[in-house]
Structure 1
């Protein structure tokens, strides 16, 4: 019998040929008239596809920055340019001063500017101070009751704060179902990353592990957005819903009011769900991971926790716990928080920006690329927070955890929460959560290494996964805790 349909192999071959032709056309169309930023040697059609790092990308780009004596590095893959900014000055010049050219999400930007940036301003987030203090102290009690599951207690802290802020939902116990939802989403974002120029290709064509991982775990991101928002919508119909001051309820009230009046909506229900979900996952991820890094370094550096304890005793005494009014006076605690941010940036390559127009910086071209449905070659720009935090021109012995460096005049790190119009809108809320947890733990706990069965201290070890954000995994029991002051 004659087969009238092309075989799978023939279909794959035709798709491969079409892809090659499209990439060749894109390469011809995007020939630069000015020099591009430097980078490693490229191959015809493939560009830098075979040398673009799949592991520790931020560190590799930082290494290339030194090798090519340039704070800007350029690579190309599948017709798309990627530009990596490896110094704070360059990132400010390009992403802050020219931010309008490096933000390609006008609809969500409108939502951010009109609502999120106002709701999460440094002034407005003060309304959540009492919540953050309450949750920090509850976390200490949970850790003391179950010291072996201290990481879970820190996860609960992070989830409890952002869930209350985003949806008005309380999380009181370490085994709450919302914690597992957040864990799955953090695992998904921390272990995979989707190259945007190949996201529509089938797995049989693109065998990139991170792409397959992202597709397999997309359900986790969807669940994190869907479940709490559905609960918020259900709660909205209760008589006392007006008492809920969370982001989702505020937006739902505004949406329903305009719907009742027949007025045009500024944003859809999907926009509201996306905004609340973004706050949820970003806040839960960064707060938990930052607190874990704090515990790790206190275990490794008992002299630092001793100095922190001395400052706390001198400033606030031993008859109460720290609150936000103490922050200006607790200088060393502030230095510890800033050193946590610098020592291990949680988003090493930051948030990707896309170029809307060609840009020229110091005689080098940052091309805009072009947009397509199957393949987009719009240039992606990253601010390498890892490179900035470990810049030897700025920081002495940058790989050492040393809060004293700031007393010596070294600057606080920049870029941990992004640059330009894609700076994290929840940065003030997240920073407050981290600060109160660091101050409270330093005030009442002493950290020590776990002991083995033969009485020897166990050296803590952690590893970081390869996603867009660090996802921390303890490979051995890391810490033990003793109470130094009463709660």
Structure 2
């Protein structure tokens, strides 16, 4: 049979297979729907991609706590209690993920024995009892960030990116890698690709028919596979290069690092350990950068909050040193500022979607197998039934709450839910807090002024795609005093 004829026949058979599976899927859904109805929701031809969390909240005002989109097999909730019921209390059912190109990345890979093995390796390094191992690297990179703000305050966004990216390489590999490094650029590029894959509707054929992964990439509807292949190639490269350097440095006695030591202790887990490093970088690149950027924007827009936090630091820590992790429990208002940043501006407003592995029934509604469950964290954190004046930046809300500001990190919904909660959340929590406290101790942030001495307004606008962070704005960043500037500059002499 000629090649062209065989290819056409194969494509025809593939189309027929898709049609057949679609038919049986519809029949199955109709059968299940006869037993219990689906949750209510609008009929939409296209999923919203820009500011989707706002649209989902508006739908919730109409349809309630459960919003189902049958055309996309997506369930959305804007309610934290519902998210906890499904994603945590029924985690056995709602812990899967079907993400294009994410087969080897812990946060987005399928829920399986491989995922459990990868997570065990990850948790050995990032568990709460072990995160103090990262303190030296965190001090080093945060203090470097402070010095960069003194040298070039106008380049604050680039400095924030350098901190969020460089910390992973420093803390895990013992390497100083800047955002200009080719390795960092390639890893950052992966983040943009996954941002598309993580939005419901980004690759609809893959979401509805994950078995298409077994067809060739040229097959109609298999664009996701071409993207996945390219992602896999880049992931393998950014897995291997820093890992090999760190292992070689340990062997030659040049330097040591957590990832090289772990590889020496557990050579059978080389693949999982390499993947852990890449996942750490990808997870931190946009999330840590977003949280720090949102904090700095908030301080420019709320000078009264900044002044209160600085007064607390001056009173508790003093003016002759920078804050340390040991000071955290003694700084409740600074803690409240950090918590309010994470509430009002979560880096990933919709979190990472969960996928159901079997049919389920909740509150009388049928939730079908393979359903993508989206927890609208942005809306949960602005629930007027939970937070007074939910759209305002008010750190005092934590001081006045029954639990106080030092509540469990599990109550910061930005870190996710259930078995798919961010495995590196304890390190991320420490990094953002130390940056918040250190910037407050050393700098005054405010609005920039034009040539006539008038303040330039800051709109506070945020980006509207999967990862959320402030849009560019002009600001003023100056040391609080000559002593504060000297403290920051002196960190380089202390190896910090």
Q: Give the TM bin, normalised by the shorter chain.
A: 0.7 to 0.9
Q: Does residue 252 of structure 1 match 2:263?
A: yes
Name 1:372's counterpart in structure 2. Answer: none
Within the candidate set 80, 83, 86, 2:75 is matched to 83
Distance 1:319 1:185, change over 3 A: same
Q: Secondary structure at the match of 1:460?
A: coil
Quote how far apart the aligned CAs of 1:123 are: 1.5
Shift in Å at residue 139 of structure 1?
Answer: 0.7
Q: CA deviation at 1:64?
A: 1.4
Q: 1:197 aligns with which of 207, 213, 224?
A: 207
* Corresponding position: 1:366 with 2:367: yes
CA separation of 1:352/1:192 partners in 2, compared to 1, >3 Å: closer, same or farther? Answer: closer
Q: In 2, Cα distance between the equivalents of 1:323 and 1:420? A: 31
C-alpha displacement of 1:444: 0.7
Whole-angstrom distance in 2 between the partners of 1:4 and 1:341: 57
**For 1:340-359, what aligned pairs fall within 5 Å after superposition?**
340-359=341-360
How far residue 41 of structure 1 moved from its aligned partner, in angstroms, is: 4.2
Shift of 1:234: 4.3
Q: Deviations over 1:267-326 (max 9, x none)?
A: 562x33322211111123211111100111111111111111111111111111110011
Residue 373 (structure 2) pairs with residue 381 (structure 1): yes
* Equivalent-residue separation in structure 1 for 2:19 and 2:187 (angstroms): 40
Gaps of 5+ in 2: 97-110, 488-496
Alignment-derived partner of residue 298 in structure 1 = 299
For 1:137, which of 137, 143, 148 is the aligned residue? 143
Alignment partners' CA distance in 2, 1:343 and 1:430:
17
Q: Is 1:231 matched with 2:231? A: no
Change (3 A) 1:108 1:436: farther
User: CA, structure 1 residues 144+217, in 2 after alignment: closer, same or farther (shift >3 Å)?
Assistant: farther
**Offset of residue 190 of structure 1:** 4.2
What corresponds to 2:278 in structure 1? 277
Structure 1: gaps spanning 5 or more residues: 43-47, 257-264, 369-377
> What CA distance in whole angstroms lies between the structure 2 residues aligned with 1:103 and 1:241?
42
Match for residue 73 of structure 1 among 58, 67, 71: 67
Distance 1:217 1:109 in 2: 18
Query: What CA distance in whole angstroms lies between the structure 2 residues aligned with 1:357 and 1:19?
Result: 21
Query: 476, 479, 491: which is aligned to 1:482?
Result: 479
What CA RMSD, in Å, does the superposition of the two structures yield over aligned residues? 3.3
Query: 1:422: how far off?
Result: 0.4
Task: Give the structure 2 partner of residue 338 of structure 1.
Answer: 339
TM-score normalized by the length of structure 2: 0.81
Report the CA distance shift for 1:278/1:140 in structure 2 as closer, same or farther (over 3 A). same
Q: Structure 1's 6 and 54: CA in aligned 2 closer, same or farther, altered over 3 A?
A: farther
The size of the alignment, in residue pairs, is 450
> Given the two structures, how large is their TM-score scaled by the length of structure 1?
0.82
Alpha carbons of structure 1 residues 277 and 151: separation in structure 2 relative to 1, 3 Å: same
SS in 1 for 2:386: coil
Structure in which a larger fraction of residues adopt helix: 2
Q: 1:243 to 1:224 in 2, by over 3 A?
A: same
CA 1:364–1:148 in structure 2 vs 1: closer, same or farther (change >3 Å)?
Answer: same
- Once the two structures are TM-superposed, the CA of residue 414 in structure 1 deviates from its matched residue by 3.4
- Contact 1:102–1:354 at 8 Å: present in 2 too? yes
Report what 1:397 is aligned to: 389
| Contact 2:263/2:270, CA 8 A, preserved across alignment | no
Moved more, 194-203 or 380-389: 194-203
Equivalent in the alignment of 1:431: 429
